[in-house]
Amino acid sequence: MRNPLSERITTIQPSGIRKFFDIVSEMKDAISLGVGEPDFDTPWHIRDEGIYSLEKGRTFYTSNAGLKELKIEIANYLYRRFGLSYDYKDEILVTVGGSEGIDIAMRAMLDPGDEVLIPQPSYVSYEPCAVLANGKPVVIELQEKNEFRLTAEELEAAITPKTKLLVMPFPNNPTGAVMEQKDLEAVAQVVKKHDLFVLSDEIYSELTYLDKHVSIASLPGMKERTVLINGFSKSYAMTGWRLGYACAPKVILEQMLKIHQFAIMCAPTTSQYAAVDALKNGDEDVAHMREEYDGRRRFLVHRFKEMGLSCFEPYGAFYIFPSIREFGMTSDEFATKLLEQEKVAVVPGTAFGACGEGFVRISYAYSLENLKKALDRIEHFIKGLRGEI
Amino acid sequence: MEMREKILTFIEKNSRVDLKELAIILGVDEATVANEMAAMEEEHIICGYHTLIDWEKTSIEKVNALIEVRVTPQRGRGFDTVAERIYNYAEVNAVYLISGGYDLLVTLEGKTLREVAQFVSDKLSTLDSVLSTKTNFILKKYKDHGTVIAEKKKDERMLVTP
């Protein structure tokens, strides 16, 4: 029989998280700090709208780009929250989660050999998506000393004549890093100078704890070279609804729409109706959840400081990314031992790129009660490693 | 949110948090939290620290009733005098002045149905200004103080996700 597989797909490694998931699943009564999704339920009024749409029999396809009503609400929301002006008619596309937006943006923009700059540590799908879109991923290794922000110098150093697209994964999973206005301005200068495009994944834009999130698309001259990805998963605790959106200049968006049309048809209708309500009536829920995460974040930062574990203070998403270098083991070894000895699951930093070595990702999408229990165990673990007990 | 609102919002759900921890969570120093709490206790904004108990899960018998009371308000004092007469009884858990079909909502706790019924007929109904009462017994509590008490929620998320 012939090889049924394409060469390209076999070069892509499965996600490093998968392997760890299998180990954790075997472990009875482990406390996990390993999830990348909110612990809150979707607010009831949003779920209620989804249920109502089902009761009304709204079980048909929507137009490819999404419900008009939803696109209008997205445009209103982006203006209200981030001062962005997108035309709902041809600059907004409703997708199956932010993930689909990442995929189709790359497929719409890349030709074979085009280089895609991917700052890491970052979410696991940028690199494989770039490969699947015929692009060539080029990793920029972010530095802890810069609080894992992308600097203009790092960007400049990675650019070649083939560079076309820069991925901007901020607020960042797994580091919790944010890019403030001044950081973005410096990056935008370089982007414009080299005539690059930006794929800005702002799925955590509602979860910032220092200042309000700034979108790179809101900077002068950047909207026309930016594809903005956002969605409902993190801000409204709607991961399972699979709903996101992409905003881009018409010339890019209409090509993305083509792929979406043929590959997906449209995003789930029930989710779209629920999302209309989220945008109309959900601001308070978002604020409430942000406040909760912020309290947990401060608690974790404090506890890690007390433990003497080196960690920069993260101002975004719901992750904290402490360094475990002092223990002289790899992230993988650390995470595995922590799981075996204390039954606490964290994710090795290397799951998010090789430069995540020496770090672990800890999620605080858990109740304080749970976090406290887990932190006590982590403290016990590292005291053991240091020979203090 | 201002500091007082932050403190109150938090301790309304969890009054067992210790001051040091609360200060860390709110991102202020411990003295600030301690001072605000003391001031709010003094001003009787914080009126007590109670525990939410699902008595049904214990072997202790309790009967709760909501009693709708219609009364004649008093000249110059409105409903306050009669409300005070009622809330002074130890059996009475809460007294609210209500807009709508009746005047006072009284919640009551007793050991048995008979005990509650007796209180209503002997004590409450006989008050001069009480015109009528209607007693509703609570059969089951599903949610109280913003907390679902019927069942504890399980975390059904996958253990590790990117």
Provide the CATH number for the domain around residue B120: 3.30.70.920
Q: Do A319 and A227 share a structural domain?
A: no
Average pLDDT value for residue range A361-384: 97
First CA to last CA distance, chain A = 60
What are the structure tokens assigned to A17, written together?
């998280």
User: Is A24 in contact with B159 (Cβ distance < 8 A)?
Assistant: yes
Q: Do A338 and A258 share a structural domain?
A: no
Q: At what angle do helices A269-281 and A68-82 cross, to 10 degrees?
A: 40
* Within-domain flag for A312: yes
* Within-domain flag for A1: no
Q: How many CB atoms lie within 10 A of CB A88?
A: 19
Average pLDDT value for residue range A250-256: 98
- B1: pLDDT strictly greater than 80: no
Percent of chain B with pLDDT over 90: 83
Residue-number span of the structural domain to which A256 is assigned = 44-281
* Within-domain flag for B27: yes
- A296: pLDDT strictly greater than 90: yes
A374 neighbourhood in chain B, CB within 8 Å: none
Q: Do B89 and B62 share a structural domain?
A: yes
Question: ipTM > 0.90?
Answer: no
Q: Do B13 and B93 share a structural domain?
A: no
Average pLDDT value for residue range A48-64: 98
Q: Do B60 and B18 share a structural domain?
A: no
Least confident of A3-7, A164-168, B76-80, B85-89: B76-80
**pLDDT of res. B150:** 75
User: Is B160 in contact with A20 (Cβ distance < 8 A)?
Assistant: yes
Nearest residue of chain A to residue B27 (CA atoms): A298
Which B-chain residues 18-47 have CB contacts (< 8 A) with chain A? 21, 24-27
Confidence of residue B29 (pLDDT cuts 50, 70, 90): very high
User: Is A35 in contact with B161 (Cβ distance < 8 A)?
Assistant: yes
**What CATH number does residue B30 fall under?**
1.10.10
* Within-domain flag for A389: no
More confident residue, A57 or B2: A57
Q: Is the peptide bond before A4 cis (omega within 30 degrees of 0)?
A: no
* Within-domain flag for B159: no
**pLDDT of res. A19:** 77
Q: Of A221, A252, A281, which marks where a domain is finished? A: A281
Measured between alpha carbons, how far is A350 from A359 in angstroms, rounded to an integer? 8
Confidence of residue B152 (pLDDT cuts 50, 70, 90): confident
Nearest to A337 by CA among A40, A101, A23: A23
Measured between alpha carbons, how far is A50 from A58 in angstroms, rounded to an integer? 10
Q: Do A253 and A295 share a structural domain?
A: no
Residue B162 is nearest to which of A32, A36, A368, comparing CB atoms?
Answer: A36
A291 neighbourhood in chain B, CB within 8 Å: 1
**pLDDT of res. A50:** 98
The C-alpha angle A249, A255, A259, rounded to 5 degrees, equals 135
Q: Do A12 and A138 share a structural domain?
A: no
**pLDDT of res. A21:** 85
**pLDDT of res. A16:** 77
Q: Of A281, A299, A323, which marks where a domain is finished? A: A281
What are the structure tokens assigned to A128, written together?
């494989």
* Within-domain flag for A2: no
* Within-domain flag for A251: yes
Percent of chain A with pLDDT over 70: 100
Q: Do A249 and A196 share a structural domain?
A: yes
* Within-domain flag for B153: no
**pLDDT of res. A348:** 95
Q: Do A233 and A98 share a structural domain?
A: yes
The Cα of A40 is separated from the nearest Cα of chain B by a number of Å equal to: 10
Residue-number span of the structural domain to which B59 is assigned = 55-144
Q: Torsion angle of alpha carbons A339, A344, A349, A351, nearest 10°?
A: 70
The Cα of B132 is separated from the nearest Cα of chain A by a number of Å equal to: 39
